[in-house]
Each structure stands twice: as structure tokens, then as C-alpha cells.
Chain A
């Protein structure tokens, strides 16, 4: 969702998608809620702090999303790609917890009536600790949301300040407590590597997060996106630059602690009970992203919506909200499989490497250096290789 939109072809006037592969994949849904009360200094996601823009209102925005659900249903049906039920849904943003539970319910109803839910459908909502009330939680739980991803980021007030986050340790604990009492599965989002964050500060964040007995942790190393306030502060020298060596230390320490606490590693930044929704991205399942700037992937087509909420709504009214589309060639699909698959504990099939003409000597070298390991027909990164996935991929595809 970050950064400017890619450049692609036009959305087809026929409103039909051409499958670029014959895989019969499960169907997943992302819903983008483009509103926040405050813009965080590190964030370049597509979100807006005004809750009223010309023609756009937070309180009404679910209607646009529901309109896109209808549109997607007609596109998928017309393309012969009707899914047999939704396997996971993710409300992200922005701040989805700014929606009223009624709005979440209406969206879920629209999704269910359009596509149906597959058994065990995982429905996650992102929530900021400070905007998550007990009332909202019980409302969305009743509407069908069964997993809560809480944006903890850090327990260190100094780090939260650098990140412009509005919450504190108290908010975090009460939000988690409320979620657990309502029987949500929980995930915590953590960020390490913020300017000024010490190794000890990060240790504290991990320890205190683990006290919450969560089912899942995403631990992201801070990405300084160009154009953000944070990037400007760093380039001006007001904040120190990211130290990737220290981050590697932090990552290794976190990995030890999380795994010891029963949250096994399964993707570069993810630990614990596998999030079906996340896995859908890394295994190139079919998913439709609803809302401004949201990206979709359907059978080898990637497409993305108009970024600004007002333009999104106008485009939707005029026909399709899509701003662009790309059809992935077979080669591109294979390269993506390598790029994404190697991020996960499942790795990639050996066959994929030979399909991509990867030099076997390069693979053998990485195996001998201990960055990769072999599990039958799969090749996956070792603990040592987890932080070097991108380098390995470039090396292999060169």
C-alpha cells in the first residue's frame, strides 16, 4: 500500500479479467479504511487525517466499499473466476477501528452475500490501542471479526513519540485484555529500529509483549520511506539514521525470545499461529483489495485502485475504481513465487529454481554457507538466511 501507484495498463473496458495461469486458488479479501486521526511520521500509507473530504465521509465510506464489492462480484462472475467462498478477510488502513461496528457489519454482510465464507474464515481487523473501545470490540466481534491485530509498535514512550503514536502501555494492555475476553485471536504489530531505540528498549518491548500471551507477533524493522516526515528528519540530522546492524541484533534477539515463547517463525517478520491472510500474499492466492489505493491479485492479474478517496469514489461511480492493471507473464509469476516464497518457512520448490534457470552452483554455494537448507523438494532459508532473502533472490535471478 506504500509509495506511489505503479504504472500499468488500463483496466479493461469489458470489466473482465483474463486468467494468466490455471491455478485454482483460494479467495481472500482486503478492505482498506483510509482514515486516521493523526498521521504518523514514518507512515506513507494511503491515509487521510480529515474525516470529511469533499464528497467523502468516514461515516458513509462503507457504502463505497460495498459498491466495490458488488462491482467485484460482477467482474469475477463475468470472467468465469467466481470464488467458492472467502478464506480470509483483513480490515487494514488507515485506522479501521475508526469505523463504527455497524459499518464493519454491513461490509461483512455484503461480502458474505456476494461470495459466502469458507469454513474457518479468518477475519482480522487492525486496531490502534487508543481508538479501540470495549464497545467497538464487542460490536465487531458480533459482526464476525475473529482476529485482532493491535498496533503496539513499542512500549518505549520515547520511541512512540518518534513514531508519532498516540497510545501508551496502559492502552495496549487494556485493548489486549478486552480482545482476549471477547475471544479474539490476537496479533501484535511491533516496530524495531526507530531512531533512538536502544537494544535494551527493544528487549523491553518484546518481553512486555510476550506477557500479553498473544497468538501472533509481526515484528517489522522500521522502513524509512522517502517523502515521509521521518525521512526528512533523518536527512536533516534531527534524528539518527537507521542502523541495520543493530537491527540485525534486535531481530536475532527477538527471534530467540518469540520462538522460546511458543511463537515459531514463519515469515521474515512474522511469528506464531500462521495468519492465513498473510500467507495468501506470499503464496499468490487470489485476493481483492477494496478501497482507495488497494491492490488486488486475481489469477496472475495485479490491479490497483485510484488512490485518493474522492477520486476512488468518482471512478467507482463511473464504472471501475481501478487505476491500473498488469498481467504477469509466466516468468514474472515465477520470479514473484521465488521472491515471496523464500520469505516463508515453506520456502520454494526446487523445481521453481530450475524453471527460473537459477545457476545450481549459486544455490549450492548458499547451501554450503548455511543460508539455505533443503527439505525434500523444498528449499528454504535458514535462520542465518532470513535477513538476507532479498539479496539471495537478486543473486539467483542475475
Chain B
């Protein structure tokens, strides 16, 4: 199916023959599969080399079926006898990665709005569409998966038309799976997406839209040339820090890295400088040359702002230096990960880490455990609180255990403006859920015959905890969610502590709404009674607000832990068991004299619903 297309030489491509575009799509709407077809159709990946989701390199991406790191692939194309270079900039599709999306969008002139023809647009896609419109991108609406029996292209074409204007006929219908319509899409990109504009003769300005750490090459920086040209032997300069680096390699991804003779205005490619730390190649920064530096930096991107915080601790205290090293390495590839050392009375030395959201937290802890072979405990996620104490002093609390003991005058908690899209049958369910999560409705509108958009103002803390899971389970996966920062609002909040044997365990402290404190205390205490194994002594568990105990459970002392019969072959069996048990103990964390299994810390994350199901 592939016909090799004439490839334009990077660095010598006139801007008029360049198209920079991205694909905006919800998870599972088939973006990676469509990208696979484009790679094949343009002939840069042969049918023999093809594998599913070619561009999703990392194991973890492939397994979860989502794209975390953006990529920029140069695709050759030909239309009406003219050769073009199309740069496809991949964008992540999850609510946690809005920031990365915004960077990718800023590197493009057009966006393919890809929507599953059987499902319609989702809230996240709507949000990204909005960002794309704000960036003045040309939008190409496309319905994917039209090969599916459940596809309703006419219905959703109408929905898309009502969202972006225009007529339903403008909506292209494709199938990433069969390849139907993909060629037409490529043609349309060339016709509709504006060519990049920029001053070829001005001093070089390149915008960093992504920075990836590669263990062999060091930091690989993805840039979009705005003005001028970068050449292989240039000494480049970061405009924010004035740091100068020698350019070791410059090139384009097609779809493997290919060194080029430079990048000229409008082009998208990568730079390698031998720098090992992504912080020296900061996303949002402008790259220029030392020889002929630009005077004005490009408008900076918003720095990633952590929304969710969690303490990450090694189970084995001696792993602390390894955890530090692992975080340092991950930060090389993840500009949005922030952390600083933290000490917990219960858990010892660890790090307070800031994440873009819960999924980001999960991905990072999973990568730390998998790639660095660490056994970790992540404490219950928390948001940032602005606390004003009685005496008027202000403090910022990212860790519940820092929440002041004494009276507080006011607590401000971060709010979000959430957009929920749902089939109309679930409106009641969603309203109930949002009310339970302390939400106030902003408005509600019908997007078509049976699709409704609900907008709520909600405390972020309620969203990061388990909102998304509950939303999905209560609507059979039909509703979708997106949210954006909506400032701070005062909240009636208290800190609930957990005590084991009368000792406060800081890792279990949580800041919750006053009305939910009792339920929270009971739930955690019960959960811990189930999860902490019986010890040689009785372990009282208490949940308390200040000195007031709101829930109490007791783990009775174990009375019998011995094998009744130990003769002959039992001895070998018993010794092998003993060796295993010694290993098992390593998964336990000593909190005072109490052995607490890793699951107990994880369970603090789980929800009432999940606990109820058990």
C-alpha cells in the first residue's frame, strides 16, 4: 500500500512546503493507529517493519495504551506534483497532561480533530480543541473508526459541525484500521493547514516543545524553528539561562532519528547537545545561537504546575539514595515532575513529589518501581492548601501533616472548573456524584439530541482522589471529564490523623471536609484493621481530629504462630518457607513497633466504593 514519496532535504525545505500539525484525540479514539497508517502510506516505515503503535516507544505507554511523551515525526508527501514535508506532532491524550498538549499545539499551524465515530467527542478532546482554537490552529475534523458496525458518522459529524462551525460534510471519514480515507486526510492537511511563516534571515529562534532523556544520547530536545536556521556545528544558547552548549547532532525524526544539515525556518526536529539533564534544556525556553543571538525570547510557555502531591518513601530505608537517583533520572525525561526531600516520623526519609494528576503519580511510581527496582510507599495524595492561622500568618500546606494543629482562621483550597460530557441518561447520576463531591453546578447544555455538557465547580481535592474512577464506573464509561484550574475557595476543612498504638502516623494524615471526616476516619481505621497483620501485642487504631477520637478499631495480638508438626521432610519445607518469609518482611514497613504492609499505605488511596465492594 505504500509508495515511496520524494523526501525533501531538511534544512533546505522552503517554508511553503512545510505543514506542521498535530492530532487531537481522546484515548482509544485511534490516534496511534491512524499514525501507523500515515507512516506506512508515506513509505517511511515499510510494511515489514511495521508494528502496532509504532510511535509509542516506552513499554509503559504501550501497556496502558496511552501516549505520554510527544514525538515529532517528519512525513514526506506529494500533492499536485509538489513535494511537502509534514511534521506530525503527537500529543498526549490524558487529562493530566494538558500542559504537554499546550506545548505541542504551539508548535503547529493545524490540528486534526480525531473523534471516534462510534463514541463522539469527549470532554478532554473538547478542552484540547479549545486550546487549539486559542492558538489559532486550523482545525480539520475527522471521524475515525468508520469501519466499526456501531459507527454513527452522520450523527457525530453534526455534533462536530455544531462545535467548530461549518457543515457536517466538511468532516472527513477515515478508518485508521483499514486505511480508508487516510490519503485524503494527508491531502487535506496540505491544502488546509497554513504553511509556517517566519523570518529566515533573522537570528535563530527555536521553541523547545519537548525534552526527552535517552539513556544513550542524553537529553534529546524537540524544537520548532520559528526564525532563522540552526546548523550542525553551531554553538547554541538557551535564552533563559544564557547557557551555551555545543550542538552534537541536529536532525529530524522520520520515524527514526536522522541527522540533517540543520533545521531551517518552520521546520521541526531534534537537537542533541550531550547535556544529561533536561533542566538544562528547559521546555518553553528559546534556543538561539551564540554567534548571532536573538534579542527577544519567544513567549514562554506556562511552567508545569503540580496539582497533586504525595510523599514517596522507600520501604527499605537504605534505598533512599537510590530513590533520589531514580527521581533525578526521571526528572531528566519529565519536566513536570517536582520533588523535594521530606522526612516522615513513620516512614523515614523520602520525597514530597508534585504531579500533574493522579495518573501522572501512578505512572511515576510504577516507573520508579519497575525501572529502578525500588519498593515504595506513596502516601495519600494531597493538594495545596493556603492556610491562614489565627494570628494572621499565612502558610502553604502540601503535606497534610504540616497542617497546623491549632485553630486556623481560614483554609483556601484549590478549585477546578470541570466539564463533563455524558449521554443524557446519566445526567442524574453525575449530578448526584458532583454534589457528593461538594460541587456546584455552573450550567448544563445539550450538545445534540442525547449528549449533555455539564459544568461544575469542584474542589480539586475531590477530583484527584477517585472522582474519575467513580465517574467511569457510574456511567459505564460513557461520561468524560476535563477540568481546569479555577482558583482557590475557602473550605470547611479539618485534618484527620491516624494513630497506631497511640502514636500519630503522619503518613496517614489527611485533610478532608468536616462533614466527611467521620466517614473517612472510620473507613481508614477499618481498612487498616483488615490490612495490618496481627502483631505480638495488641494494636489500637484511632482516627482523630486534634485530640478528639472519631473512630477506633483494635488489632488483637496474635496468639499462635507455629507449625504444629516439624519432622523429617517438614524441616526442608519449613526452612524454605522461612527464607520466603524473611523476604516478605522486606515488604513491611516498621511504624514504631508495628509492621505495616505496603498495601495498607496504598489502601489509604482507595475509595469508599472500592472498600464497600470488597
Contacts and interface: CB of A to CB of B under 8 A. Distances in A.
Interface in B66-115: none
Contacts of B571: 281, 295, 297, 302, 336, 339-340
B91 to A, nearest CB: 49
Interface stretch (B52-60, B357-365, B453-461, B553-561): B553-561
Nearest to A287: B568
Interface stretch (B248-256, B286-294, B368-376, B578-586): B578-586
A390 B562 contact: yes
Contacts, number: 106
Interface stretch (A61-69, A71-79, A241-249): A241-249
Interface string A332-346: 100110011001000
B570 interface: yes
Nearest to B576: A6
B178 interface: no
Interface string A382-398: 00001111110110011
A269 interface: yes
B191 interface: no
A369 interface: yes
Contacts of A281: 566-568, 571
A371 to B, nearest CB: 7
A394 B585 contact: yes
A251 B560 contact: yes
A265 interface: no
B573 A220 contact: no
B578 A339 contact: yes
Given A247-B560, A281-B567, A332 B536 contact: no
A293 B565 CA distance: 17
A347 interface: no
Interface string A319-353: 00000001000001001100110010000000000
A151 interface: no
A304 B565 contact: no
A386 B562 contact: yes
B558 A397 contact: no
Interface string A232-266: 00000000000011011001000000000000000
Contacts of A17: none
B348 to A, nearest CB: 17
A42 to B, nearest CB: 12
B564 interface: yes
Interface residues of B, number: 26
Contacts of A2: 565, 569-570, 573
B560 A387 contact: yes
B548 interface: no
Interface in A1-41: 1-3, 5-6, 30
B559 A391 contact: no
Quick one: which of A30, A293, A393 has the most chain B CB within 10 A?
A393
B575 interface: yes
Quick one: which of B569, B572, B585 has the most chain A CB within 10 A?
B569
B536 A371 contact: yes
B472 interface: no
B559 A390 contact: no
A54 to B, nearest CB: 25
Nearest to A398: B585
A90 to B, nearest CB: 9
A272 interface: no
A323 to B, nearest CB: 11
B564 A269 contact: yes
Contacts of A163: none
A335 B577 CA distance: 12
Contact of A6 (B536, B564, B573, B585): B573
A166 interface: no
A393 B561 CA distance: 10
B568 A388 contact: no
A115 interface: no
A282 B574 CA distance: 12
Nearest to B584: A394
A302 B572 contact: yes
B67 to A, nearest CB: 43
B573 to A, nearest CB: 6
A278 B561 CA distance: 21
Contacts of B561: 387-391
A352 B561 CA distance: 22
A267 B568 CA distance: 15
B531 to A, nearest CB: 18
A326 B578 contact: no
Contacts of B566: 268, 281-282, 340, 343
A295 B573 CA distance: 11
Contacts of A221: 560, 564
Nearest to A221: B564
Interface string A295-325: 1010000101000000000000000000000
Contacts of A5: 569
A81 interface: no
B555 to A, nearest CB: 13
B573 A388 contact: no
B563 interface: yes
A94 interface: no
Contacts of A3: 569, 573
Interface string B190-203: 00000000000000
Contact of A393 (B567, B576, B578): B578
A293 B572 CA distance: 13
B583 to A, nearest CB: 10
Contact of B559 (A244, A335, A339, A343): A244
A379 interface: no
A394 B580 CA distance: 10
Contacts of A388: 536, 558-562
A223 B565 contact: yes
A294 interface: yes
Nearest to A365: B593
A90 B571 CA distance: 17
5 contacts: A222-B564, A336-B571, A340-B566, A390-B578, A397-B578
Which 6 A-B pairs rank lowest in CB-CB distance, beginning with the nearest?
Answer: A248-B559, A295-B569, A391-B561, A387-B560, A220-B564, A221-B564
Interface of B: 536-537, 556, 558-576, 578, 581-582, 585
Interface of A: 1-3, 5-6, 30, 220-223, 244-245, 247-248, 251, 268-269, 278, 281-282, 289, 293-295, 297, 302, 304, 326, 332, 335-336, 339-340, 343, 369, 371, 386-391, 393-394, 397-398
Given A268-B563, A304-B569, A394-B581, 7 more contacts: A6-B576, A268-B562, A302-B572, A339-B571, A340-B571, A369-B536, A398-B585
